[in-house]
């Protein structure tokens, strides 16, 4: 059975990182999940931090993510959210992981998800770099294929796979180093 992971809003906010995790999930490396609340948080942060984006562009991006992964969205009920023992503002994220039966919750906010709150749901909270490194370790060829696909979709401006990897290295440096090392030794 393929492992599942909930992607937190701070992982889906940067477009290159969101594209990477959606692309690798699309190739079957894992099952990606998020909730409407997580996507709403992405949208709110984009609106607040990116005045160059219109509300239509933000809505298009969020809808495109749902179209790319139609089975990703899970909507935890309020009762489940209220049961979570982690940071109140992130209870909906852990509830999404519990509902999706996700083995991983991928976030930059590790401290908002203490192990004692996640343990009852068998959820391991990891950084994007750790999770991406796991994907590389499991199948570096498919991760490379995902990066090639990302590059082939880039139009404005165009980008090579190497440029995509350089950009991703800002967010997931260890995973990209591991991928480069693996592809050099092949």
The pTM of the full predicted model, rounded to 2 decimals, is 0.95
Least trusted range by pLDDT, from 43-52, 134-143, 154-163: 154-163
**Is residue 28 left, alpha or beta, with left meaning phi > 0 and alpha meaning psi from -120 to 50?**
left
DSSP structure string for 9-41: HHHHSSHHHHHHHHHHHHTTSSEEEB-HHHHHH
HEC per residue, 157-182: CCCCHHHHHHHHCCCCHHHHHHHHHH
d(CA 21, CA 110): 18
What is the per-residue pLDDT for 157? 85
CATH of the domain at 152: 3.40.50.1010
Q: How many domains are contained in the chain?
A: 1
Structural domain containing residue 139? 1-186
pLDDT digits (tens, 9 = 90+) for 48-100: 999 999 999 999 999 999 999 999 999 999 999 999 999 999 999 999 999 99
- Would you say residue 186 has pLDDT above 70? no
- Would you say residue 1 has pLDDT above 90? no
Answer for the pair 176, 137: CB distance below 8 angstroms, yes or no. no
- Would you say residue 20 has pLDDT above 70? yes
């Amino acid at each position: 059975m393929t492992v599942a992971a909930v992607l937190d809003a701070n992982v889906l906010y940067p477009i290159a990182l969101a594209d990477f995790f959606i692309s690798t999930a699309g190739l079957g490396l894992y099952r990606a999940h998020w909730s409407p609340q997580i996507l709403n948080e992405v949208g709110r942060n984009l609106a607040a931090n990116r005045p160059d984006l219109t509300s239509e562009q933000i809505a298009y991006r969020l809808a495109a993510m749902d179209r790319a992964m139609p089975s990703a969205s899970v909507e935890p009920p309020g009762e489940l959210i209220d049961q979570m023992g982690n940071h109140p503002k992130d209870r909906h994220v852990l509830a999404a992981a519990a509902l999706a039966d996700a083995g991983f919750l991928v976030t930059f906010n590790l401290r908002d998800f203490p192990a004692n709150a996640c343990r009852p749901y068998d959820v391991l909270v990891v950084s994007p770099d750790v999770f991406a490194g796991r994907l590389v370790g499991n199948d570096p060829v498919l991760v490379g294929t995902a990066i090639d696909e990302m590059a082939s979709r880039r139009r404005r401006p165009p980008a090579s796979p190497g440029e995509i990897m350089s950009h991703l290295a800002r967010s997931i440096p260890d995973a990209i180093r591991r991928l480069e090392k693996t592809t050099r030794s092949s």
